[in-house]
Structure 1
Amino acid sequence: MTMEIGKVVLKTKSKHTLAAFYSEIIGLKVIADEADKIALGVDNRVLLELIEIKQGKAPKQAKTGLYHTAFLLPSRAELGSFLHHLLESNYPIDGAGDHIYSEALYFRDPDGNGIEVYADRPRNEWQRDELGNLPMATNEVDGDGILMVGAELDWYAAPNDTTIGHIHLQVSHLEDTRQFYQTILGFQVTTEIPSALFFASGDYHHHIGTNIWAGRDLPKMADLETGLAYFSIQVEELDRLEDRLIAYDVAYEKDSDTLITLEDPNGIIIKIATNTKS
């Protein structure tokens, strides 16, 4: 069963402030603007939703939830064009990494939510071990090379083929997280180090990253704290997944024939859907 990340939903004190950032810096378009939320994306596909909680506040300590949302651009040239745009905007960059299978830029939105913008290398260039797993590597990025290939492209907005390539989560327990995402949901572990696990569907490098870099036994976020509200996973059909949830006695709500809502062991809410209306 093929699974992909659908959208990321964030809680914020000011939806318009955050929407302006994702429009001007990331290049997403506003698809819907309602009383308490704004949906943004590309080509009429929602990638990000901002829910306004006027009385919301940032967590005072590390909590489980979002480490970063990773926007996947369709090519290295598009990544170079985006880097030109980012440098011209003078928006602060936290760092960059060459992960062998991808090249990535890292920064934060005005609420402090982590962001990765990246482009994959061709799959025939990915380096795998004898078991098919991918190495954990963060090498220096060839910034000049990326800028050079993107020099002829003008950045007007995120390309229509932009997706959320993966989501990276801050979790409380790695083994409980492994049991949930691998055994119950059916993702494969593609990369593993003592402090992080990376999960994928099919032959991708990862759709979900998880880490305990902020510590173990983190509490989950409170309802009025800003940050990740939930993320969605798109699947082909729900029947087999629902059978596994029942078999492993995992609590869930079936909102309709095409949507299931549940929590992972870290208190992170997930909506699993067979369409883009999650």
Structure 2
Amino acid sequence: MSTSTSASLADPKVQPAARVDPVLANAPLKIGRVALTVRDLASMSRFYQQALGLKLIEQDRRSALFGTEAAALLELRHDPDARARSPREAGLFHTAFLLPERADLGAWVAYAAQQRLRLLGASDHLVSEAVYLTDPEGNGIEIYTDRPSADWPRSDGMIDMPSERLDLRDVVDAGAGRTWFGFPSGGVVGHVHLQVGEIKAAESFYADLLGLDITCRYPGGSFYGSGGYHHQLATNVWNSQGAPVRSDGATGLADVEILAEPSVLEAVRSRLPALSPAARNSASMSLRDPWGTSITLRAP
């Protein structure tokens, strides 16, 4: 990006930073930034700034980068001629933005009501509390907060993550007295949920190749975690059973960046014997899952 607009790092309205649960903060693999291909860069930029409160970090005519004072979380890549992705295709199910505290979620829900944002649902997953919506081009979004990892229910070696009714009034009450001034600096992309064509092949890629643990299984869906977190990635076939490899030139997910500790990068490389010497010595590597979804592994 040649022309940049930097977000202010001294905004007096910014809430104090709060750490995410150490289980996620210390995980060997965690989500960095998510890149989307968009047709209307201006309207999508407004949405992510106004609805989610992400800060514009830099922008030019081809792309825009958003995040917090601490990190870049979302990149929008402009392609006005892109084909609109079908909801039946492989790709993005949702990007999940993790707020540091329950009070943050309460403040955002109250703000969303004031702004008349259209919410698609809300769930209590016992490990987390989540609210769902979409952006103007149909990309799924989750806004959530975690319960303490010590309280996550478990059975048979897996983490239980049911979808129960969320008490939105109680969540809003938790944020009483806190005004939403934008996405807090302690917030991150906690996980990315993907649509795939077949679960077994997805598990081979995300668990066997990337080394993520399978933490939970639903009918038609698998969840993958690192370092004990409930999930940094998930895959499902609820809308996309049998989906073929993605075709180029469509809107939607362009890339998922995963921050990987050097030992994890080396382990992935060891499972890819055909890599060139240059790729073996690089601090990052680009892969595609069986449906053509781009995954970039990068050292923090």
Q: 1:106–1:20: structure 2 CA closer, same or farther, 3 Å change rule?
A: same
Q: Which residue of 2 aligns with 1:144?
A: 169
Matches within 5 A, 1:38-187: 38-60=64-86, 62-131=88-157, 133-187=158-212
Secondary structure of the residue aligned to 1:254 is helix
Counterpart residue identity of residue 99, structure 1: H
Q: Which residue of 1 aligns with 2:268?
A: 241
> How far apart, CA to CA, are the structure 2 residues paired with 1:236 and 1:75?
26
Counterpart residue identity of residue 71, structure 2: R
Shift of 1:252: 12
Matches within 5 A, 1:190-205: 190-205=215-230
Q: 1:127–1:250: structure 2 CA closer, same or farther, 3 Å change rule?
A: farther
Q: Which residue of 1 aligns with 2:252?
A: 227
Instruction: Give the root-mean-square deviation of aligned CA atoms.
Output: 1.8
- Please say which of residues 9-18 and 64-73 is displaced more in the overlay: 9-18
What do the CA deviations read for 1:147-198 (whole angstroms, capped 9, x no partner)?
1010111101100011000000000111011011111110000001230000
> How far apart, CA to CA, are the structure 1 residues paired with 2:259 and 2:98?
16
In structure 2, which of residues 282, 285, 288 is the aligned counterpart of residue 257 of structure 1?
Answer: 282
> How far apart, CA to CA, are the structure 1 residues paired with 2:249 and 2:152?
41
Shift of 1:78: 0.5
Shift of 1:253: 8.5
Counterpart residue identity of residue 76, structure 1: R
Answer yes or no: is the 8 Å Cα contact 2:225–2:232 preserved in 1.
yes
| Residue-pair matches, total | 272
Structure 1 unpaired stretches of 5+: none
Q: Which residue of 2 aligns with 1:28?
A: 54
TM-score (norm 1): 0.93
Structure 1 outlier segments of 4+, above 6 Å: 250-253
> How far apart, CA to CA, are the structure 1 residues paired with 2:58 and 2:174?
34
Counterpart residue identity of residue 194, structure 1: P
